């Protein structure tokens, strides 16, 4: 039995999302991408399909599935378009999952139904202008004043933070200093529209053009003490766990993008002729596609392995980092080679491979850069300091 043998439920889900991506996303995404528009209608359809609730218990409005189901949905979306895939990934893995994992019963009942239905999106604000990889060094502060937290500071590059349907951002804040002198970090839920919380216009990005990415400013933002997510001082451990899970999801996104490159190149290399023959007859092209297929297969194996371990509740720090590192670097290579196979057409935005190329690079950066993944893998082996 192979790790790639999906259960009937997982197979049916993957096929449903594949059909949705091909029939409803592919025809319209190019224009939305060029216009840099958030795809509200497609997101609403994904919500109707239950995708935002996949790994959540039914009592909180979820579908009662597992995290592996989410990975399959992300992979199938990314096979056609990464913006939708990252919108789903960030909403579920970064926005809603921390509330399920660390929230009080009251917080879960208040926030999860709207997030798991997909009617609202949640975001996760960790990165700051001067601390990304060094995320323990954030400077946004939250201090207690009466029965409220008062938050001051800012975040950069936050996904899903400024859409018309964004409901909250979970913000990593310094809430004090630990006895050993290190910052005490806690996570606090800030609902959209809270006075003093402002969202900058969306960035102009190289890729993921239909995904919403914003800079956030917190100017004496007041929220109830009850908006603390989990225990005070546990924010650092929470976001490390959240990022471990998120890395598997980014790996799944990379697998989908790599597979999309193979899909497009197989077809194109049969159709496009040069020197009187289909370009796929040239070994130089056929071998590129063979390499792309091989790295996609290996990326999928690593990702599904990490995903199954995650679903079984095992520690995934090492396997998640390896899956993320290998799958994302392979996706960048595949996107570059796919663009090459398409020749000049590969440089034209109307061709999906051009989008794949633009969307691939950020995979090596978001949710921990390739360098950070190598640090994690090396440290698990007891090397690298
Ligand atoms: C489109 C997009 C969406 C994002 N969405 C979110 C989001 O929703 N929420 C959120 O909190 N963040 C988000 N991010 C932020 C992302 O996680 C960070 O950009 C990423 O972690 C890198 O941080 P940085 O940009 O500050 O780079 P830096 O940490 O400044 O790194 C710069 C370079 O130095 C390298 N480097 C740093 N430290 C070391 C070291 N010790 N050893 C070797 N090399 C090192 C890095 O690998 C990188 O190559 C998003 C980013 C993008 C681009």
Residue 384 Cβ < 6 Å to ligand 1: no
Considering the four listed CATH numbers 1.20.140.10, 3.40.50.300, 3.40.50.170, 3.30.1480.10, the one that applies to the domain covering 237-380 is: 1.20.140.10
Please tell me whether residue 190 adopts helix, strand or coil conformation: strand
Does residue 245 have an active-site annotation? no
State in Å: Cα 283 to ligand 1 middle.
39
Q: Work out which ligand 1 atom sits closest to the CA atom of 205.
A: 1
pLDDT reported for residue 256: 98
Q: What is the mean pLDDT of residues 349-364?
A: 97
pLDDT reported for residue 243: 95
State in Å: Cα 93 to ligand 1 middle.
18
Mean pLDDT of the chain: 97
Detail the DSSP E strand segments found in the chain. Answer: 121-125, 141-145, 148-159, 166-177, 183-191, 197-199, 213-224, 228-229, 273-274, 277-278
pLDDT reported for residue 287: 98
Residue 126 Cβ < 6 Å to ligand 1: yes
Residue 1 pLDDT exceeds 90: no
**Orientation of helix 82-89 relative to helix 67-78, angle to 10°:** 160
State in Å: Cα 368 to ligand 1 middle.
6
Q: What is the pLDDT of residues 20-55, one digit of tens each?
A: 999 999 999 999 999 999 999 999 999 999 999 999
| Catalytic option among 89, 337, 364, 367 | 367
Q: Work out which ligand 1 atom sits closest to the CA atom of 362.
A: 53
Residue 140 Cβ < 6 Å to ligand 1: no
State in Å: Cα 49 to ligand 1 middle.
32
Residue 253 pLDDT exceeds 90: yes
Q: What is the pLDDT of residues 211-250, one digit of tens each?
A: 999 999 999 999 999 999 999 999 999 999 999 999 999 9
Task: Provide the percentage of residues in the chain whose pLDDT is more than 70.
Answer: 100
Q: Work out which ligand 1 atom sits closest to the CA atom of 370.
A: 47
Q: Work out which ligand 1 atom sits closest to the CA atom of 161.
A: 8
Task: Provide the percentage of residues in the chain whose pLDDT is more than 90.
Answer: 98
Closest residue (by CA) to atom 43 of ligand 1? Answer: 371
> Could you tell me the CA-to-CA distances from 38 to 42, 83, 164, 219 in Å, in that order?
9, 9, 10, 27
- Torsion angle of the four alpha carbons 303, 309, 311, 313, in this order, in degrees rounded to the nearest 10: -150
Q: What is the mean pLDDT of residues 141-147?
A: 98
Q: What is the mean pLDDT of residues 135-154?
A: 97
Angle at 133 between CA 85 and CA 82, to 5 degrees: 10
pLDDT reported for residue 138: 97
Q: Work out which ligand 1 atom sits closest to the CA atom of 155.
A: 11
pLDDT reported for residue 120: 98
Q: What is the mean pLDDT of residues 304-311?
A: 97
Residue 385 pLDDT exceeds 90: no
Q: What is the pLDDT of residues 43-100, one digit of tens each?
A: 999 999 999 999 999 999 999 999 999 999 999 999 999 999 999 999 999 999 999 9
State in Å: Cα 167 to ligand 1 middle.
25
Is 8-121 in CATH node 1.10.10.60? Answer: no
Residue 251 pLDDT exceeds 90: yes
Q: What is the mean pLDDT of residues 128-136?
A: 96
Residue 302 pLDDT exceeds 90: yes
Residue of 83, 94, 127, 250 to test ligand 1 pocket, by largest number of atoms within 8 Å of CB:
127
Residue 311 Cβ < 6 Å to ligand 1: no
Is 122-233 in CATH node 2.40.110.10? Answer: yes
Residue 90 Cβ < 6 Å to ligand 1: yes
State in Å: Cα 371 to ligand 1 middle.
10
Domain ranges of the chain: 8-121, 122-233, 237-380
Residue 77 Cβ < 6 Å to ligand 1: no
Sorting pLDDT into bands at 50, 70 and 90, what band is 292? very high
Residue of 97, 242, 369 to test ligand 1 pocket, by largest number of atoms within 8 Å of CB:
369
Q: From CA 256, how far away is CA 329, in angstroms rounded?
A: 13
State in Å: Cα 239 to ligand 1 middle.
14
Q: What is the mean pLDDT of residues 156-179?
A: 97
Q: What is the mean pLDDT of residues 311-325?
A: 97
* Cα dihedral 65, 294, 86, 141 sign: positive
Residue 62 Cβ < 6 Å to ligand 1: no
Residue 361 Cβ < 6 Å to ligand 1: no
Closest residue (by CA) to atom 16 of ligand 1? Answer: 366
For residue 223, give the nearest of 124, 144, 115, 126 by alpha carbon. Answer: 144
10, β-bridge pairs: none
């Amino acid at each position: 039995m192979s790790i790639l043998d999906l259960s009937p439920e997982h197979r049916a889900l993957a096929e449903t999302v594949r059909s949705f991506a091909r029939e409803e996303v592919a025809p319209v995404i190019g224009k939305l991408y060029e216009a840099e528009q958030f795809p509200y209608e497609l997101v609403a359809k994904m919500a109707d399909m239950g995708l935002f609730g996949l790994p959540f218990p039914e009592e909180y409005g979820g579908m009662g599935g597992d995290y592996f189901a989410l990975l399959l949905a992300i992979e199938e979306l990314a096979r056609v378009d990464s913006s939708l895939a990252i919108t789903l990934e960030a909403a579920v893995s970064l926005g809603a999952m921390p509330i399920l994992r660390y929230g009080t019963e009251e917080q879960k009942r208040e926030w999860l139904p709207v997030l798991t239905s997909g009617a609202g999106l949640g975001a996760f604000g960790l990165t700051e202008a001067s601390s990304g990889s060094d995320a323990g060094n954030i400077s946004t502060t939250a201090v207690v004043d009466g029965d409220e937290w008062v938050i001051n500071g800012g975040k950069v590059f936050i996904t899903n933070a400024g859409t018309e349907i964004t409901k909250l951002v979970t913000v990593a804040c310094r809430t004090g200093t630990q006895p050993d002198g290190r910052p005490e970090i806690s996570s606090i839920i800030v609902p959209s529209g809270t006075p003093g919380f402002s969202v900058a216009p969306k960035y102009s990005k190289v890729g993921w053009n239909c995904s919403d990415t914003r800079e956030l400013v917190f100017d004496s933002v007041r929220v109830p003490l009850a908006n603390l997510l989990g225990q005070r001082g546990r924010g650092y451990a929470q976001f490390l766990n959240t990022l471990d899970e998120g890395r598997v999801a980014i790996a799944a996104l990379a697998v989908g993008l790599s597979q999309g490159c193979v899909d497009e190149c197989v077809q194109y290399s049969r159709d496009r002729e040069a020197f009187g023959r289909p370009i796929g007859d040239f070994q130089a092209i056929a071998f590129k596609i063979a390499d792309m297929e091989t790295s996609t297969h290996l990326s999928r194996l690593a990702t599904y392995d990490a995903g199954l371990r995650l679903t079984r509740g095992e520690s995934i720090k090492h396997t998640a980092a390896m899956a993320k590192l290998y799958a994302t670097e392979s996706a960048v290579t595949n996107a570059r080679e796919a663009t090459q196979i398409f020749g000049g057409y590969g440089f034209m935005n109307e061709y999906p491979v051009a989008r794949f190329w633009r969307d691939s690079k950020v995979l090596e950066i978001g949710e921990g850069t390739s360098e950070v993944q190598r640090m994690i893998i090396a440290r698990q082996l007891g090397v690298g300091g």
